[in-house]
Amino acid sequence: MSGAGEIRIALPRGELRAELATRLRAAGFGVPGYGEGSRSYRFEVEGRPRVRVRVFSEADIPIQVALGHYDLGITGRAHIDELLVRYPHDSAVPLKALDIGESRLVLAGAAGSSLKRLADEGVLRVATELPNLASRFLARARVPDYRLIEVWANAEAWPPEDADAAVVASERAHSEGLAELATLHRGSAWLLGNREALTGRDLAEALAPLLALPAGDGAAAGPSDPLPLALRPGLRRSPATLPERETLRVAVPDGHAQRHTVAALAAAGIAFKGYEEDRAVRYPESAMEGVSVKVMRPQDMPRAVALGLFDLALTGRDWLAVYAAMFPASPVVELCDLRRSAYRLGAVVPESLPAESIEQAIAYWRRDRPARVIRIASEYAALADQYARDRHLGRYRVIPIAGASEGFVPEDAEILLEGTETGTTLRANRLRMIDVVMESTNCAIGHRRPPPGRRGELRSELVRRLADAASGRR
């Protein structure tokens, strides 16, 4: 909750951070520590004691401002519109375009393809991190049948073989060798405000310097309205659930899990050229005949396996659990535990909370108000929902978040459902895990039904080698 007279500002982490910090300083709104990428999530503003800054992932800022948790915020316009096209409440007000973070989102596909041809030929599969903007565009283009593959990140990794198109920034499309099929959205970073705060509270101490930040070029910002496509009538044939192919397709992760996966593969005597501890290309090469490899986000692997796009994927058991909570009938199973990258996933609360168990914590929060809503913030929204049901939280609300999670408690949520390897980050933020939900390691996953013929043999062989290495028998 805001202190009396306090002005709360939500600023982005990530790509905007360094440039924004420079401009804030120049505008007389210095936020010491913000631009240096400090692991802290809360900052003060030089010479402005009433103003508090909290750092969020860009995607989380519009909803925080719309809910009134923060009075003002700065984030990419695409994230603001992703909220407003689906939930057109007027509480989040875009105020001013800034001269940083200019981006054009495009629908990108294989070179030589066109949106009309793809939509005419069959069900259009679109990978996207921004499903609301994507579905708005596709509805307005009158695409008769489409499937949105809602990915956590790196949508550009999906086309052309795993999706027909992806919603990505134009420069990412080009760097991935994809062609632009249509422009979906334009915009830079924007200052936005909460309507109620703007109309009823004195925010001038923060608003005046933020409004003085250099303005964008004035080009129209927002979602594009495409021309309706003239397409043949009729439903499209759904994509095959288990496509035929000759090669065994293997997905390996980038990011945090990459180092552990390279080690697990090496222990099993497997090496993919171009997939090393400190570097990865999109398509590493396998020395094993009949095996093709692709690098993608581990979060998105269970879905890719369920869709039949990959025969084997190396991901985390936490992501498999998240996926199973969303789609319990999905045909994806764990094939073997790689026993690496171990960490605990559980309910995190402030260190100072006078409770030793989640039951005591619930009783404490509801000691005066029995009907109080308990808020659980998590990147693992489906697991948070499951957790709330399993622990009989009663009236609860899941707040899906995109990151910078340790900053959510205690102000913006009672519980954070979060993973921790060593507990260092939690301790640094004066948090502790009060209830462990699962112990996660990385694992190999596959379709419940093994692929036919040689592909099936190859999958069994790889899984056997990985399992042997993991159990130390090799």
Partner 1 sequence: MTPNGGESGRATEAGAAAEMLRSRGMRELGPEEMRRFRRVERIFLEVTAERGHREIRTPTLEPLHLFTAAGTLSPQLLERVYSFLDWDGWSGERVVLRPDGTVPAARWLLEQGDLPPAGDGDPAVRLSYVEPVYRFVPGDGDREQWQAGVEIFGLGAPEGDGDLLELGAALLRALGLAPRVELAHAGILRSALRAAALDSRQQLAAYDRVLDGDGEITEELAAAHPAAATALRLLLEVTGEGTGYVANLRAALLPVLPDSEPALAELAAAAAVLDREGIPYRVLPATARNFEYYTGLTFRALAGEAECLAGGRYDGLTEALGGPAVPASGFGADLLRLADLAPAVSAAGGGSGR
- Residue appearing with tokens 């030793």: 356
Shorter beta-carbon distance to partner 1: residue 21 or 320: 320
- Residue appearing with tokens 């939690």: 426
Q: Which of 148, 437, 445, 458 binds partner 1 (CB under 8 A)?
A: 148
Which residues 318-347 are close enough to bind partner 1 by CB under 8 A?
323, 326-330
- What is the closest distance, in whole angstroms, from the C-beta atom of residue 148 to partner 1 in the complex? 5
Q: Which of 33, 68, 239, 400 binds partner 1 (CB under 8 A)?
A: 239
Distances in whole angstroms, Cα of residue 271 to Cα of each of 95, 207, 260, 285, 336? 52, 55, 13, 9, 18
Q: Which of 115, 143, 362, 445 binds partner 1 (CB under 8 A)?
A: 143
The site that binds partner 1 (CB under 8 A) totals a number of residues, namely: 39
Residue 123 touching partner 1 (CB under 8 A) = yes
Q: Which two tokens stand for residue 48?
A: 């402005």
Structural contact between residues 136 and 222, judged by C-beta atoms closer than 8 angstroms:
no
Structural contact between residues 470 and 337, judged by C-beta atoms closer than 8 angstroms:
yes
Structural contact between residues 225 and 127, judged by C-beta atoms closer than 8 angstroms:
no
Mask for 73-112, x = binds partner 1 (CB under 8 A): ------------xx-x------------------------
- What is the closest distance, in whole angstroms, from the C-beta atom of residue 302 to partner 1 in the complex? 8
Shorter beta-carbon distance to partner 1: residue 213 or 296: 296
Shorter beta-carbon distance to partner 1: residue 141 or 399: 141
Rounded CA-CA distance 383/18 in Å is 33
Residue 283 touching partner 1 (CB under 8 A) = no
Which residues 381-400 are close enough to bind partner 1 by CB under 8 A?
none
- What is the closest distance, in whole angstroms, from the C-beta atom of residue 95 to partner 1 in the complex? 22
Shorter beta-carbon distance to partner 1: residue 160 or 346: 160
Find, among 287, 361, 302, the residue nearest to 334 by Cα: 302
Distances in whole angstroms, Cα of residue 382 to Cα of each of 64, 321, 388, 417, 424? 20, 9, 10, 11, 25
Where helices occur in 268-404 by DSSP H, the ranges are 301-306, 317-326, 358-365, 381-390
- What is the closest distance, in whole angstroms, from the C-beta atom of residue 305 to partner 1 in the complex? 10
- What is the closest distance, in whole angstroms, from the C-beta atom of residue 455 to partner 1 in the complex? 21
- Residue appearing with tokens 């036919």: 452
DSSP string over 101-165? --EEEEEEESTT--HHHHHHHSPEEEEES-HHHHHHHHHHTT-SSEEEEE-SS-GGGSTTTT-SE
Structural contact between residues 59 and 402, judged by C-beta atoms closer than 8 angstroms:
yes
Distances in whole angstroms, Cα of residue 219 to Cα of each of 89, 97, 98, 211, 335? 24, 9, 11, 18, 52
Residue 117 touching partner 1 (CB under 8 A) = no
Residue 147 touching partner 1 (CB under 8 A) = yes
Residue 136 touching partner 1 (CB under 8 A) = yes
Q: Which of 145, 180, 285, 411 binds partner 1 (CB under 8 A)?
A: 145
Residue 233 touching partner 1 (CB under 8 A) = yes
Residue 195 touching partner 1 (CB under 8 A) = no
- What is the closest distance, in whole angstroms, from the C-beta atom of residue 246 to partner 1 in the complex? 23
Shorter beta-carbon distance to partner 1: residue 86 or 392: 86
Q: Which of 94, 144, 400, 403 binds partner 1 (CB under 8 A)?
A: 144
- What is the closest distance, in whole angstroms, from the C-beta atom of residue 371 to partner 1 in the complex? 9
- What is the closest distance, in whole angstroms, from the C-beta atom of residue 67 to partner 1 in the complex? 16
Instruction: Give the DSSP H or E segment for 24.
Output: helix 17-26
Shorter beta-carbon distance to partner 1: residue 1 or 235: 235
Q: Which of 1, 4, 111, 235 binds partner 1 (CB under 8 A)?
A: 235
Residue 413 touching partner 1 (CB under 8 A) = no
Find, among 324, 330, 310, the residue nearest to 462 by Cα: 310
Residue 150 touching partner 1 (CB under 8 A) = yes
DSSP string over 248-285? EEEEEE-GGGHHHHHHHHHHTT--EEEEETTEEEEEEE
- Angle at which helix 317-326 crosses helix 381-390, to 10 degrees, equals 70
By CB under 8 A, which span of 65-73, 142-150, 215-223, 273-281 interacts with partner 1? Answer: 142-150
Burial of 328 (0-12, 13-18, 19+ CB in 10 A): exposed
Residue 227 touching partner 1 (CB under 8 A) = yes
- Residue appearing with tokens 């171009």: 274
Interface ranges with partner 1 (CB under 8 A): 85-86, 88, 123, 125, 135-136, 138-140, 142-150, 225, 227-228, 230, 233-236, 238-239, 241, 303, 306-307, 323, 326-330
